[in-house]
Amino acid sequence: MFKRFFLTMLLLLLAGCAVKHHDPEGVTYDFWMAQKRHNLQQASRLALNSDPDDVAIHAKIKIDRIEYGKPEMEGEEARVPTTLYLKDFTPGSDQEAKVTFDTMLRKTREGWKVDTFETKKALYLAAGKAYAQNLSTAFAATLKNLLGDRKEIEGIFRELIKGIKETIREEPKIN
């Protein structure tokens, strides 16, 4: 009797673990994990638009890790604060890019689904900002490596100005 009860409880536990998430945060987690693994079929099952081509994100976006916040729900819509840490995102920089945006969801008869149109729009806007920021940081670091630090550059300009002033003073005046 105990064995049968134990086996039943174990099967229920395993079945419960196999069930997909049905709340907005869980659907968001499943969706972005599918994107990270490049499993567009699974991601499309979690999206309003079930076409894998429409669900796919830009190939340049390589997800390293993912963080989520508490969902904000209003009626049949939810937004889940999402942060993707992207690798190999900015040329000339090996730092990962942090991209924060909201994953937008809508409630359907089948449960919560990711609104890929609105989510991708928010993702690409945030990714563009992160790209520009990382690119400017990489550019500044490259300039610093090429030219030296600020005091060094100021010293060079001071010497240049001093040399120009001396040349002007020593130059014979033309009448």
User: pLDDT tens digits, residue range 26-85?
Assistant: 999 999 999 999 999 999 999 998 788 888 998 878 999 999 999 999 999 999 999 999
Per-residue model confidence as pLDDT tens digits over 50-61: 788 888 998 878
Distances (CA, A) of 148 to 61, 134, 144, 151, 163: 33, 20, 5, 8, 21
- The verdict on residue 101 lying in a domain is yes
- What percent of the chain is predicted at pLDDT more than 90? 45
- The verdict on residue 70 lying in a domain is yes
- The verdict on residue 133 lying in a domain is yes
- What percent of the chain is predicted at pLDDT more than 70? 69
Radius of gyration of the chain from Cα atoms? 28
Identity at 85, one-letter amino acid code: Y
CATH number of the domain within which 30 lies: 3.10.450
Residue 97 φ then ψ, to 5°: -95, 135
pTM: 0.67
Q: Which domain holds residue 61?
A: 19-144
Does the pLDDT of residue 150 top 70, yes or no?
Answer: no
Q: How much is the pLDDT for 22?
A: 85
- The verdict on residue 95 lying in a domain is yes
- The verdict on residue 159 lying in a domain is no
- The verdict on residue 33 lying in a domain is yes
- The verdict on residue 47 lying in a domain is yes
- The verdict on residue 50 lying in a domain is yes
Per-residue model confidence as pLDDT tens digits over 13-27: 444 443 356 899 999
Q: How much is the pLDDT for 27?
A: 97
Separation of alpha carbons 22 and 43, rounded Å: 14
Q: How much is the pLDDT for 89?
A: 75
Q: How much is the pLDDT for 149?
A: 66
When divided into structural domains, the chain yields a total of 1
Q: Can you give the length of the chain in residues?
A: 175
For all residues of the chain together, what is the average pLDDT? 80
